[in-house]
Structure 1
C-alpha cells in the first residue's frame, strides 16, 4: 500500500490515514487455518468494516489498482530513479494474491517489510511508516482484504537496473534508514494529538513525500517534513516545517480540516496528486480523525526559514521585464477568477495573494498549474469543484514564466522570478 502525493497553486498540505478504534480479540475468538476469526458474524462484519475504513484511509487502492482495472489487483507501474516497480496483487486469490497469507504473514509485511517467504520488500512499499501501525489495525486491514473478490492476475516482475535488482542490497539500506517499532504515545500530549501523530506518521506515511530523499533513496531524517521534489513526478511536496511554505502554525484548525476533508478551504485548495489523495482517501475519514490530524499538523515545529532548493536564477533586469509582461497576461487570463487584487473568491477560486504555495523557493507547482491546469477533488463536501484551465497551448515558455513571476511578486508576495528554462523543463513532465 502506498499513496501518491502532492499539491500546487494553492494551499498544500498532506496525506494521512487511519483510525484508532482498537480491536480486542476476546477469548472466544479462534484461529481457522492460521487466520483469526471474530467470535460472531456480527463481530467479523464489524472487523471488516473497520478494515475497509483503514484501507481507504491508507489510500491502498491508489497504488494497488490500475485505472480501469480490478480493485487491488496490482500491476500499477511506479517509476523510480532505479527502475520501474509494479505493485502486487493483494486480493485473496490463492495463486497470485494473498489468499494463502496468514494474519501473521500480513502483519510481518506491514511491520518488518518482509514478504510471506521472508524476502525483503522494496521501500516503495512504505513499511518504514507502516511499522508504526498497531497489530489490531493491521489485522483489520487483513480481514477486509480477505473479504474482497479474488482476482487471478499475476503480479508483474519489477524492471530495476543492475545492481538494484539484487534484493540483498536492501540489507544495507534497512540498516541505515529503517527502525522497526509500533507507534508509542507521548504521555505529555493529549489523546487527540497522539491520534493525529499516529495517523500522520504511521498509515498515512506523509513523510514519504514531504521529506527529501538522498541518492540512496533514503529519507533525509534531519530534514523530516521539510519538503522536497518527488523524483520523476515533478511535483514539489512543500515543507510542513515552515510557515513560508505549507507550515500550518498560523492556520485555523477548521481551515486545515476543511482542506484535508474536502480539498478546499478559505486558505486555498489542493491540486495535482494531492487532489487524488483527498478524493480517494481523506474525504472518507471521520471528522474526529481529520481533526486529530489537523491538531498534530498544526504543532509540527516551525523553523524560521524554508529549506533551500535548487532553483534556476533569473537576472534582476530580466525578472523586471517578466514582471511587467506578466501583469498584462494575468489581467487577460487570470483576474476574472482570482481577482485583480489576487484575493480570489474562496473557496471556489483560491487566493493568490499571501499564499505560501505561490512564494515557495521552488516554483514547480505554480508552473505546472499554469501549464496543465487541474481540479480540486470532487468530494462529499465539495461535489462540483471549480477547475483551473491549462495554458500550455496558449502561452509560450516566456509567457508562463512571466505570469508566474507576476503572481509570485505581487500583492505583497515575496517569491523570486521564474526562468523560461524552468517552464521548458516542466512542459513534458507527467501529469500525475
Structure 2
C-alpha cells in the first residue's frame, strides 16, 4: 500500500472516530431532555403559586448569586470567581430583551433540570444545575411564576471571562458528558417523609454539596464523597464536613439546636460565619420550622465518615510546639483576644464563642481561623439574633508570623491539642 493510500485511510479513520465521539457527546448532552412544546403554553400563575415560588427561591438562595450589592433584585451581573475564570450570573427578571421575559416554563424547567438555556446553549455549572436537576417540575414552575412576577430590569447579561478552552461549548459538552447526568429526586422508601423532605432540600434546592463537597480537577463535585467538606475555590474558606463530628457533623446534636443554627445563625454548640453566614442571612432563616426540622433530620442521619485510627496504632505522639512561638502567641492573645474570649478561652455566653474545646478551632485545617483573623468574623443578622456580636479584622495589624503564633497558642492551650500553624500555612490562605 502506498504512503498516500495509508495517509488517506488514517485520515478517514480519524474522521470516523471524531464523528463517533461527537455523536456520543451530543447524545450524552441530550439525555433526559423532553422536546419543548411546539406552541406557546398557557401558564396560570396564581397568587398561591407565586408565593410558593418566592419561598422556594429563598430556599435555593437564588438572590445570593443573581443580585449584585445595591443592584436590582435578580437582575444578575454578580461575578463568580472560579479556578477557570469569572462567570457572571444572568438576569432572571421578566425583561423581554435581557431577562427571562421570553422564556416559557418549559424553557425554565430545561435550564433547571438539564442545564440548557432557552437558545439551546449549555450552561456553566456555576449555576448549580447538577443539584437543581433534582427539583420537581412543580417546584420549578412555582419559581418561574415568582420570577415572572418581579419588576423587569433591563440589565444586559455580561460575557463570562474564562480562559481557553473553558470558554468553549465543546469543552463544556465534554465536562457534562463526564460529570453530569440529569435525574429526578427519588425518595428513599425506607425513610420517613420528613427525612426525604430534608434530603430533597439539602441535596437538591439547597445545593449544599456545592460548598460542603470536594471537587475534582475539572471542578465537578465528587458526589460519592457526599458532604465530606471542601475548600471553596478562590474565596479560600473551608466548608467543613457535615459527616464528621470533629468538623460540622450534627449527628449528636438535638434537632432543635440544628434548627436554631439554620434559623438564627447561633446554637449552643456552634455559630456560622463566612459564606455560611450569608446563606443563613439570605436563605435558611426564612424557611419554615417544618422544613428546617426536615433538614435537621436528614443531616443528623448522615453517616459518620470520620477516620477511625486502628486500635493497634496506640496513643498519638504528643504535638511539639516551639516555646518561643507559644510565648509570642500568648502575648498577642492577651493583647488582642482575651478581653472577649476570656483568659482561659472560655468566651462569654450569648456573645463571644469559647475557644477552649471549640471544634472550629481544632479542625485539621486552620483555613477558616486565618480568614477570621484577617477579615473579621461576623454572624448573620436574623430575626432570632437581630444584633449579633462580631469580631473585627486584624489583618492590618498582625503579620504572618503573628497570625501563626497566636493560632498556634490558641490551638495548643486550655485542653486544645491541635497542630501548630506555620507562616507557610498563612501564605496558603
Calculate the TM-score normalised by the size of structure 1. 0.85
Aligned counterpart, 1:28? none
Partner of 1:348: 351
2:389 corresponds to: 386
Structure 1 residue 354, shift from structure 2 partner? 1.8
Q: Structure 1 stretch 383-392 or stretch 328-337: which is displaced more? A: 328-337
CA 1:247–1:281: 2 relative to 1, 3 Å: same
CA distance in 1, matches of 2:327, 2:252: 32
Q: Which residue does the alignment assign to 1:191?
A: 193
| Match for residue 283 of structure 1 among 262, 282, 285 | 285
Mark the CA change 1:304 to 1:62 in structure 2 (over 3 Å): closer, same or farther: closer
CA contact (8 A) 1:258 1:265 kept: yes
For 2:298 and 2:349, locate their aligned partners in 1 and report how far apart those are by CA, in whole Å: 25
What residue number does 1:45 align with? 47
Aligned to 2:41: 34
Q: For residues 194 and 253 of structure 2, what CA distance do their matches in structure 1 show?
A: 18
Match of 1:420 in 2: 423
User: What secondary structure is seen at the aligned counterpart in 2 of 1:240?
Assistant: coil
For structure 1, the 5+ residue unaligned runs are 1-31, 39-43, 308-314, 427-432
Q: Secondary structure at the match of 1:97?
A: coil
Q: Is the 8 A contact 1:196 1:295 kept in 2?
A: yes
Task: Please point out which of 370, 374, 381 is paired with 1:371.
Answer: 374
Q: Which residue of 1 aligns with 2:140?
A: 138
Partner of 1:100 in structure 2? 102
Equivalences, count:
384
Contact 1:372 1:391 in 2 (8 A): yes
> Aligned-pair distance for 1:189?
0.7
Partner secondary structure for residue 377 of structure 2: coil
C-alpha deviations, 1:63-118, integer Å up to 9, x for none? 11111111111111111111111111110011110001001110110011111111
Provide the rounded CA distance (Å) in 1 between the counterparts of 2:111 and 2:349.
43
Distance across 1 between alignment mates of 2:320 and 2:196: 51
Structure 2 counterpart of 1:338, from 341, 349, 369: 341
> Does the residue aligned with 1:183 lie in a helix, a strand or coil?
coil
Q: Which residue of 2 aligns with 1:325?
A: 328
Residue of structure 1 equivalent to 2:56:
54
In the alignment, the residues of structure 2 paired with residue 216 and residue 130 of structure 1 have an alpha-carbon distance, to the nearest angstrom, of 19
Per-residue CA deviation, residues 306-343 of structure 1 (Å, 9 max, x unaligned), is 99xxxxxxx97664432232223222222222222323
Measure the CA separation in 1 of the matches of 2:161 and 2:351: 42
CA apart distance, 1:56:
1.3
Q: Following superposition of structure 1 onto structure 2, how do residues 218-233 of structure 1 map, counting pairs within 5 Å?
A: 218-233=220-235
Instruction: With a CA cutoff of 8 Å and minimum separation of 6, indicate the structure with the bigger relative contact order.
Output: 1
Q: Distance in 2 between matches of 1:170 and 1:363?
A: 34
Which residue, 237, 240, 245 being the options, matches 2:239? Answer: 237
Distance 1:95 1:364, change over 3 A: same
The change in CA–CA distance for 1:409 and 1:306 in structure 2 (over 3 A counts) is farther
Q: Distance in 1 between matches of 2:258 and 2:398?
A: 33
Is this contact kept in 2: 1:268–1:346, CA < 8 A? no
1:161 alignment partner in structure 2: 163
CA contact (8 A) 1:91 1:146 kept: yes
**CA 1:229–1:281 in structure 2 vs 1: closer, same or farther (change >3 Å)?**
same
Cα separation, 1, equivalents of 2:160 and 2:172: 15
Give 1:261's aligned residue. 263
Question: C-alpha distance in 2, partners of 1:88/1:355?
Answer: 40
Which of 61, 64, 67 is the matching residue for 1:65?
A: 67
- Judged with a 3 Å threshold, the aligned counterparts in structure 2 of structure 1 residues 319 and 57 are, in CA distance, closer, same or farther, namely farther
**Partners of 1:393 and 1:171 in 2: CA distance:** 45
CA distance in 1, matches of 2:228, 2:187: 23
Q: Which runs of 5+ in 2 are unaligned?
A: 1-38, 310-317
CA positional deviation for 1:425? 4.2
Distance in 2, Cα, partners of 1:35 & 1:300: 42
Q: Is the aligned partner of 1:111 residue 2:128?
A: no
